[in-house]
Amino acid sequence: MDYGIRINLGQFMQQLLQVLLVGMTLGMMRNVVPALAESEFGVPRGSFMLLAAFVVAFGFVKGTLNFVAGRLAERVGRRRVLLIGWLVALPIPPLIYFASSWSWIVLATLLLGVNQGLTWSMTQTAKLDITRADQRGLVMGLNEFSGYVGVALAAVITGYAAALAGPRAGLLWFGTIVIAVATLLAWAAVAETLPWAHAEAQRHASGQATKNLSPRYPTTVSAQPSTGDIFALMSWRDRRMAALCQAGLVEKFVDALVWVFWPVYLHQHGVSLPGIGWIVGVYGFTWGGAQLITGRLSDRVGRHRLNTWGMWTCGAGVALLPMGTGSAWWSLSAAVAGLGMAMLYPNLSAAVADIAQPNWRASAIGIYRFWRDLGYGIGALALGGAAALGGRIESAFWFVAVAMGLSGAILYRWGEETHPRLNAAH
């Protein structure tokens, strides 16, 4: 088997297109739906916990399916899991169109969580299968760039679609086209990459790994560990993995805030749906675009510093948003938060991939993504609670900013550099 982006460019581009469409599927739920929760779907004004319910559902379902997807992909292959994920998404646009209450939106979001847990996990894992260890930062940067540009594009496009055709019809047509195209491409053009992972594991077991790219793999598990062994290793036994998992969980508080409360906050301040789409889009475009730099940069300077400072930068951007007014100020704070996300997001995943053995890398990534996306659910509950206790939506912003600062400090203390060239086992 040959490894590398260039030699596998056709499949690499197919996977990037898949994750772009995955991001667009997620993005269609992140502007119009929360902004019009009161007027279109019957959520009473000030019902912060009810408003957060659909993101809570998404987080717990997506987190669980990330875990399932990793283990399932090691048994039936990456491509089958990807296809299942797209088939699950097909009912989402009709559910939104015919929704008679907020509970329909929660149901649609449950299906979205299944879709995202299966599809995004597989696009990430498949690209890691066919590329080299010294390209992982670039691979993760390109992966998350493509996905979150998709999220940002969908936020902008659905804002205009809702203004032109109405919120329900706009989301119906946009979502149906995106999901149908993605399903067709996954069936017709995506190849199975599991054989590359098996070949890499055999090469490492035979001692053929490059000496200066020898990763610092955990030594407390076997080459074929059980699900319980891997879960324990990732969650608490290996301090490095635990530090990465808790950082992943807390950084999703930011994304939950952007999803649930940014559109509501901006709508309450008189911003139009297209305007909300552009401000939220600044966050997504900055996050997505900067990852082209930060992912590749981590292959040169390492993951640890970028991850730690990314947590703190992102928290600062969150704190800035309610401290000023006007589209320019809100866009600036969104850009700062997006830059922090770009520093940490691909490189937390790359760090996990650095020190996870190929035989159980998909499971390790799945468990990391389980904890990370559980942050949607835990974060949305905490945000709703903070806003309710504080009596105002701004309380949720302060809660997230503090949480990011503390989590970054834990990552700095418990973590270490994982790049095999900069901190090799030999």
- Torsion angle, CA of 31/32/38/43, rounded to 10 degrees? -70
- What's the pLDDT score for residue 213? 64
pLDDT tens string 134-187? 888 889 889 988 998 898 899 889 889 988 998 889 999 999 999 999 999 999
Q: What whole-number distance in Å separates Cα of residue 285 and Cα of residue 291?
A: 10
pLDDT for 46 beyond 70: no
pLDDT for 295 beyond 90: no
> How deeply is 328 buried, as exposed, middle or buried, from its count of CB atoms within 10 A (0-12, 13-18, 19+)?
exposed
Q: What whole-number distance in Å separates Cα of residue 143 and Cα of residue 244?
A: 19
Q: Of 205 and 312, which is predicted with more confidence?
A: 312
Q: What whole-number distance in Å separates Cα of residue 93 and Cα of residue 79?
A: 24
> How deeply is 2 buried, as exposed, middle or buried, from its count of CB atoms within 10 A (0-12, 13-18, 19+)?
exposed
Domain boundary assignment for the chain? 9-194+226-414
Q: What whole-number distance in Å separates Cα of residue 421 and Cα of residue 389?
A: 48
pLDDT tens string 296-334? 899 899 999 999 999 999 999 999 999 999 999 999 999
Q: Give the model's confidence band at 359: pLDDT under 50 very low, under 70 low, under 90 confident, else very high.
A: confident
Q: Which letter does DSSP use for residue 424 in this model? A: -
Distance, first Cα to last Cα, the chain: 25
pLDDT for 216 beyond 70: yes
Q: Give the model's confidence band at 56: pLDDT under 50 very low, under 70 low, under 90 confident, else very high.
A: confident
Question: What would the two tokens of residue 234 be?
Answer: 């990732």
Q: What whole-number distance in Å separates Cα of residue 111 and Cα of residue 108?
A: 5
Distance of CA 341 to CAs 55, 73, 277, Å? 19, 27, 19
Q: Give the model's confidence band at 55: pLDDT under 50 very low, under 70 low, under 90 confident, else very high.
A: confident
pLDDT for 276 beyond 80: yes
- What's the pLDDT score for residue 59? 87
Question: What would the two tokens of residue 156 be?
Answer: 């902008």
- What's the pLDDT score for residue 83? 97
Distance of CA 24 to CAs 85, 235, 254, 294, 342, Å? 14, 31, 19, 22, 18
Distance of CA 8 to CAs 2, 189, 244, Å? 8, 14, 29
186: closest CA among 370, 418, 17, 319?
A: 17
Q: What whole-number distance in Å separates Cα of residue 91 and Cα of residue 78?
A: 23
Q: What whole-number distance in Å separates Cα of residue 348 and Cα of residue 421?
A: 17
- What's the pLDDT score for residue 93? 95
- What's the pLDDT score for residue 285? 85
- What's the pLDDT score for residue 422? 80
Rounded percentage of the chain residues whose pLDDT exceeds 70: 96
pLDDT tens string 75-129? 899 999 999 999 999 999 999 999 888 888 889 999 999 999 999 989 988 998 9
To the question of pTM greater than 0.75 for the whole model, the response is yes
Question: What would the two tokens of residue 6 be?
Answer: 């260039």
State the alpha helices, DSSP H only, in 269-326: 273-301, 304-320
pLDDT for 257 beyond 70: yes
Region at 99 (left for phi over 0; alpha for psi -120 to 50; beta for the rest): beta
pLDDT for 209 beyond 70: no
Q: Give the model's confidence band at 189: pLDDT under 50 very low, under 70 low, under 90 confident, else very high.
A: very high
Q: Give the model's confidence band at 387: pLDDT under 50 very low, under 70 low, under 90 confident, else very high.
A: confident
Q: What whole-number distance in Å separates Cα of residue 363 and Cα of residue 225?
A: 10
Q: What whole-number distance in Å separates Cα of residue 353 and Cα of residue 133?
A: 9
- What's the pLDDT score for residue 8? 94
Confirm if 197 and 360 have CB atoms less than 8 A apart.
Answer: no
What topology does CATH give the domain 9-194+226-414? Growth Hormone; Chain: A; (1.20.1250)
Region at 4 (left for phi over 0; alpha for psi -120 to 50; beta for the rest): left
SS3 content of the chain, % helix, strand, coil (to 5): 80, 0, 20
Q: Give the model's confidence band at 188: pLDDT under 50 very low, under 70 low, under 90 confident, else very high.
A: very high
- What's the pLDDT score for residue 39? 72
Q: Spell out the SS3 assignment of 67-90.
A: HHHHHHHHHHCHHHHHHHHHHHHC
Q: What whole-number distance in Å separates Cα of residue 418 and Cα of residue 415?
A: 9
pLDDT, the chain, mean: 89
Confirm if 396 and 387 have CB atoms less than 8 A apart.
Answer: yes
